[in-house]
Amino acid sequence: YSLAEKLPNVSPPNIIIMLMDDMGWGDLGVLGQPSKETPNLDEMAAQGMLFTNFYTANPLCSPSRAALLTGRLPVRNGFYTTNAHARNAFTPQEIVGGISKDEILLPQMLKKKGYVSKIVGKWHLGHRPQFLPLKNGFDEWFGSPNCHFGPFNSSFRPNIPVYNNSEMLGRYFEDFKINLKTGESNLTQMYLTEGLDFISRQAEAKQPFFLYWAADATHAPVYASKPFLGKSQRGRYGDAVMELDYSVGQILDKLQCLGIEENTFVFFTSDNGAALMSGPMEGGSNGPFLCGKETTFEGGMREPAIAWWPGHIKEGEVSLQPANVMDLFTTSLALAGIDPPDDRILDGLDLTPVLLNLSEKLENRPTFYYRGNELMAVRVGPYKAHYWTWSNSWEELKSGINFCPGEEVPGVTTHNQTEHTMQPLIFNLGRDPGEKYPLNVLSKEYQETLRRISPVVQEHQKTLTPGMPQLNMCDLAVMNWAPAGCEKLGKCLQPPESKPWKCSWPH
């Protein structure tokens, strides 16, 4: 399949993926946030196609981002752990691993057609030198390898570096301020400027580009710049959303101002559901969906998603097509007229038939909900079958960590890992998007659905070859003590002796 064949007069468009961090489905006005504070995103949806059944591949940052950039499930691309069953793993500073050199990332593929690629914002696919963006296909980078946690004291733990391309520019809380008390930071402004500059430069050079705009202001600790602080009805989290919404508007305006909007495909989404355990001050909304980040309920994995491409995508469309961040890999290749890699299994589909109304929707496309090494649930059509359920452990819950605050569906939001493989819990997400009413196992609907889903799961599991897990080992010696460029800045720190251990992933 080649888009060029079907649309011969379309030249490969620029591609912009705007990936939010922990923003929830319900944070957009157009998706029911009562405060309706996202006029630019709502307008983007009105001018483009809104996906209401769009998913991430994993309910937390690192594996979700690895899936987006490889088009493959984390269990294939290695962004998971086998240290314990069904555990969420990511890339904190002490992680030894990162994106495998055997994986092919989207910017690497796009080079075949001369695309220049830039990532602005959070990387999160490993922070050791070989794992960084410029070693993995990106031509430019402004941002950070890890979350903006801190401040740290520099002896037991270094502050997270901010990079410009292959060298650090400084560190969070030292050179890049985040005021934890007031919530003030100019980072979103910087990310916006970096994005706009890149777009302008590429437009001037008349060179196709891929901009991966990965701002992280809605990840706790949430932040916003002064003009936005205190502006939201929703507190500081809402301020961050408003600044991101403003930034999205600025980026779309820039494309229009440069006259390249009809040659730029833009996609907006988020890496995982809202972090309800940080709510309400620093967590967003998952609308009508159950639970949030870290879980394989809809609140953890269903994402806001808007495609925008004036002149190509019809205005004001709503698509119910089940789609996925991994589709952005495959779809981007199709748009660029590049054949996807044929030496590996891809989980992403090409969404261009849906985007361009070229054909029927891809109705039966399954959605797989993984937590670490376990397939927790599967969606086929409107039906979702849970093979395993878990919110978090009783121990964590008792310590105050709650992924489902105010919600409790008996036998569903379990605090033990609960196996249902012999008799999965099945929900009809059409009439029960909140996963509150499991189908009666004796009903005809249940039996028919199980007969429909079971072969999909069997086929998936039979053919699945898990990748080498990259998120098993931790070591204090690998932290961001002395990133490239630290010498010039006098910012190098002395790493401790290497003492690797198997990382502990509590949920």
Catalytic positions, please? Answer: 61, 124
Contact 248, 18 (CB under 8 A): yes
Judged by CB under 5 A, the residue of 61, 68, 328, 377 near Ca ion is 61
User: Is the CB of 48 or the CB of 98 nearer to Ca ion?
Assistant: 98
- Interface with its own copies includes 314 (CB under 8 A)? no
User: Is the CB of 53 or the CB of 263 nearer to its own copies?
Assistant: 53
d(CA 429, CA 32): 17
The contacts of residue 181 (CB under 8 Å, 6+ apart) are: none
d(CA 297, CA 204): 45
Q: Which of residues 447-466 bind its own copies (CB under 8 A)?
A: none
The residue with tokens 């969070």 is: 172
Judged by CB under 8 A, the residue of 48, 126, 143, 287 near its own copies is 287
- Interface with Ca ion includes 22 (CB under 5 A)? yes
Task: Compute the radius of gyration of the chain from its Cα atoms.
Answer: 22
| Residue 320 near which of its own copies, Ca ion, none (CB within 5-8 Å, type-dependent) | its own copies
User: Is the CB of 249 or the CB of 495 nearer to its own copies?
Assistant: 249
- Interface with its own copies includes 30 (CB under 8 A)? yes
d(CA 265, CA 388): 37
| Residue 21 near which of Ca ion, its own copies, none (CB within 5-8 Å, type-dependent) | Ca ion
d(CA 88, CA 98): 15
Stretch that binds its own copies, among 109-117, 203-211, 227-235, 448-456 (CB under 8 A): 227-235
- Interface with its own copies includes 290 (CB under 8 A)? yes
Contact 290, 297 (CB under 8 A): yes
- Interface with its own copies includes 411 (CB under 8 A)? no
> How many chain residues bind Ca ion (CB under 5 A)?
5
367 phi and psi, to 5 degrees?
A: -120, 130
- Interface with its own copies includes 401 (CB under 8 A)? no
d(CA 294, CA 169): 32
**In the 3-class helix/strand/coil scheme, how is 97-138 assigned residue by residue?**
CCCCCCCCCHHHHHHHHCCEEEEEEECCCCCCHHHCHHHCCC
Contact 413, 404 (CB under 8 A): yes
- Interface with its own copies includes 36 (CB under 8 A)? yes
The residue with tokens 């949030």 is: 292
What x/- string results for residues 267 through 306 when contact with Ca ion is judged by CB under 5 A? ----xx----------------------------------
Alpha helices, DSSP H, located in 224-339: 236-258, 298-301, 325-336
- Interface with its own copies includes 249 (CB under 8 A)? no
Judged by CB under 8 A, the residue of 48, 238, 353, 469 near its own copies is 238
Closest Cα partner for 413 from 300, 499, 494? 300
- Interface with its own copies includes 230 (CB under 8 A)? no
Q: Provide the binding-site residues for Ca ion, judged by CB under 5 A.
A: 21-22, 61, 271-272
Q: Provide the binding-site residues for its own copies, judged by CB under 8 A.
A: 26, 29-36, 50, 52-53, 232-235, 237-238, 279-281, 285, 287-288, 290, 318, 320, 382, 405-409, 412, 428-437
